[in-house]
Amino acid sequence: MSYLWTGSINGIKLQIWATWLFYAVLIDVADTVANELEIEAENISIEMLFRSFYHFNHASNRELDHDLIADLTSPKNRDLGIVKYQPKSRFRDPLDLSPYPT
């Protein structure tokens, strides 16, 4: 859609509708991947999920894989970065604001 230029209102509405539709499908795929991995949907990176469609397309063209969700959740594709990195929380002692700290 980025190469389609139009000045008419119908063309602009078409681009907005197509963008909205693609985003809805992307969120639905993210939710399905999160359910398959048994994690929260907020832990799925939408951008990396979108980028992984490229890899799935090439695998599908070479007839290596035909199921999108199975391909995205397989252990061999963990390096795609679909699951967001969760840093280890650093435990800090609470700040002691008493007049005579011990």
The CA angle 82-59-21, to the nearest 5 degrees, is 55
Instruction: Give the span between the Cα atoms of 87 and 61, in whole angstroms.
Output: 36
Q: pLDDT, tens digit, for every residue of 41-93?
A: 999 999 999 999 998 999 889 888 789 999 999 998 888 889 998 777 767 77
Instruction: Give the span between the Cα atoms of 4 and 48, in whole angstroms.
Output: 25
Structure tokens at 13: 């509405």
Residue with tokens 């991995």: 37
What pTM did the predictor assign? 0.73
Structure tokens at 24: 């809805």
Q: pLDDT, tens digit, for every residue of 3-45?
A: 677 788 888 898 899 999 999 999 999 999 999 999 999 999 9
Which phi and psi angles does 5 have, rounded to 5°? -115, 135
